[in-house]
Structures are given as C-alpha cells and as structure tokens.
Amino acid sequence: MTTMTLDAGTTAPAATEQPEQDAVNTNTRVSETVGHPLCDDAKLSMRNVNVFYGETQAIHDVSLDIGRNEVVAMIGPSGCGKSTFLRCINRMNDTIESCRVEGDLTLDGEPIYGPKVDVVPLRARVGMVFQKPNPFPKTIYENVAYGPKIHGIASRRAELDEIVENSLRRAGLWNEVKDRLDKPGTGLSGGQQQRLCIARAIAVSPEVILMDEPCSALDPIATARIEELIDELRENYTIAIVTHSMQQAARVSQRTAYFHLGHLVEVNDTETVFTNPEHELTEAYITGRFG
C-alpha cells in the first residue's frame, strides 16, 4: 500500500488563524484506507487503481466497491481526485490523452479495461451526469430518443415514444414538458435541464449512473428535486455521486468515501463518516478545518 506524508501548508490552516486544537496533524500518514471499502454484493469493483496525468500521479492505489442499489458519495477537497476516479469507471479518462489508468476495475465481474471492451456500449451501461447540465441542441424529445436510436435499442416511433415518456417520468420531468416535447432542451430551466440529462442517461437502460457534482449549478429547490430523484433511482441503479456538499452526501448516500490528495482515506456508512469518522483527516474535513 502507498504511504504518503502530507506537506505542511497543503492542508493545514496557518497557525495564527486557528486555535491550537484545530490544527490538522500534517504528519498524518495515509497508508491504507480505513473503514469498509469493499462489499459482498459488488456491482462495481475497483482494485488498486492508480491514475497518472503524464508523470503526475492523481490517484494512489485506491480500492473501492460499489454495491447494487447503493449510492456511494465521494467527497474531499477540490483537486483530490474525485472526478478522475469517477471517470475511470466508464473510461471517460480515455478521452484525455495524457491520462493513464492502472488497476483492476470490473462491472459485474467483467473487466472494464479488457482488450475486447467496446467503450460505446460500456458507456451506455455506465451513464454519466455532469456538473453543468449539457442538453444537446435538439428538442426535448430528441435529447431522450437520441441514445436509444444510436444504440439500436429502438427505432420505431411508437417504441421511442414509450422510452421517452418513461425516461422523462422516471426523471420527474414528464408533467413539466409533456406539452412541449418539440421545443429545445436548452430552453428549460437549469434544474429541468439536469433532469433532462438524467432522463437521457436513463433512456438507454444503464446499470450504473455516475454523477459529478450534479447539483452544483442548481438552486436549492432544483437541488432538492434531484436529491429525491437519486433516492428513487437507487431502486434500479447503482449510483456513484461526487459532491462538494456534505449535507448532500448525508442526504443521498448509504456509504461515503473521503478522498485526500489522490488517496482514499476512509469509506464507511454515511452516518459513521459524518458522526464518528475513524480517520483524523476525515474528521478535519467534515468539521470544516480545511477543504
């Protein structure tokens, strides 16, 4: 396992600004992940993952499982590798030329990085929702119908109509858009656009949904709506969500993973992480001493 010594100054607040007892011990060593990174019924299994951008290592020997019908939240200070790790799961890092991923990652026991793996169907099985809602410059209907068409899931209008309606219903958007399906997706509010992007991800019947700070561009009401939706979606999907909001992690996830400088410091059931963290770095972060 990797061992790391934190540099003074990277995380600890200046001594003059903080009372003595609030100082994070900068000599804390992250030698292995504490808590429960593995699970019995893993949908996704990531073992000994290392990620490099050129010569720079962004993820250090991370092992983590995500169970079926589980929401795992990934939290940690900006730049700690949450997005990089999330992008390993559906091979989005393949699109970054300098990026190299090492480790064993499997979906239902099948390798995600095998030589025979075609990333197009992989990304249909492992959908992604981004920070900023990114509807296609097409109609609401076409945004949702696009995936099923290109993946050959449906081609007849009646089949597509059904998928579009079901996906929009499951994303909690149908009633708001059913009379304007032929209007541009980009004309919706931010919160509606994000639910449209979730409907688009659902339309190809994924098994896993990755969300990278899906609410950070949304107002509190739209955020609450997405959080409710995440809880409903858990019945049918495995979900990994990166969030900078600890309240959001506490509300939507069953387990929470705390990342720090590319290391997975602690994973535990969400309540434990927020009420009784095992690692002092986790505690320092959740009590607001850095981040």
Ligand X SMILES: Nc1ncnc2c1ncn2[C@@H]1O[C@H](COP(=O)(O)OP(=O)(O)O)[C@@H](O)[C@H]1O
The footprint of Mg ion (CB under 5 A) covers 83
d(CA 135, CA 152): 21
Residue 15 or 96: the one with the smaller Cβ distance to ligand X is 96
Containing 52, the helix (H) or strand (E) segment is strand 42-53
**Paired strand residues for 83:** none
Residue 101 or 204: the one with the smaller Cβ distance to ligand X is 101
By Cβ distance, which residue is nearest to Mg ion?
Answer: 83
Residue 140 or 261: the one with the smaller Cβ distance to Mg ion is 261
> Binders of ligand X: how many residues, by CB under 6 A?
12
- Shortest gap between Cβ of 120 and ligand X (angstroms)? 22
**Paired strand residues for 118:** none
Three-state SS at 275: helix
Q: Is 5 in the site for ligand X (CB under 6 A)?
A: no
| Residue 80, binding choice from ligand X, Mg ion, none, Cβ under 5 to 8 Å by partner class | ligand X
Q: Is 63 in the site for ligand X (CB under 6 A)?
A: no
What is the β-pairing status of strands 71-75 and 255-260? Answer: parallel
Q: Is 96 in the site for ligand X (CB under 6 A)?
A: yes
| Residue 260, binding choice from Mg ion, ligand X, none, Cβ under 5 to 8 Å by partner class | none
39, two tokens = 């699970």
| Residue 98, binding choice from Mg ion, ligand X, none, Cβ under 5 to 8 Å by partner class | ligand X
47, two tokens = 């073992």
Residue type at 159 in one-letter notation: E
Q: Do the beta carbons of residue 71 and residue 239 sit within 8 Å?
A: yes
By CB under 6 A, name the one of 28, 33, 45, 84 that touches ligand X.
84
By CB under 6 A, name the one of 81, 135, 172, 277 that touches ligand X.
81
The residue among 111, 110, 129, 142 whose CA lies nearest residue 209 is: 129
Q: Is 83 in the site for ligand X (CB under 6 A)?
A: yes
**Paired strand residues for 263:** 260
Q: Do the beta carbons of residue 74 and residue 251 sit within 8 Å?
A: no
Place of tokens 């149908």: 174
Q: Is 53 in the site for ligand X (CB under 6 A)?
A: yes
The distance in angstroms from the start CA to the end CA of the chain is 25
Residue type at 100 in one-letter notation: R
Q: Is 80 in the site for ligand X (CB under 6 A)?
A: yes
| Residue 53, binding choice from ligand X, Mg ion, none, Cβ under 5 to 8 Å by partner class | ligand X
Three-state SS at 100: strand
| Residue 78, binding choice from ligand X, Mg ion, none, Cβ under 5 to 8 Å by partner class | ligand X
- Shortest gap between Cβ of 83 and Mg ion (angstroms)? 3
Q: Is 42 in the site for ligand X (CB under 6 A)?
A: no
Q: Is 79 in the site for ligand X (CB under 6 A)?
A: yes
d(CA 152, CA 53): 35
By CB under 6 A, name the one of 44, 49, 58, 145 that touches ligand X.
58
**Interface ranges with ligand X (CB under 6 A):** 53, 58, 76, 78-84, 96, 98
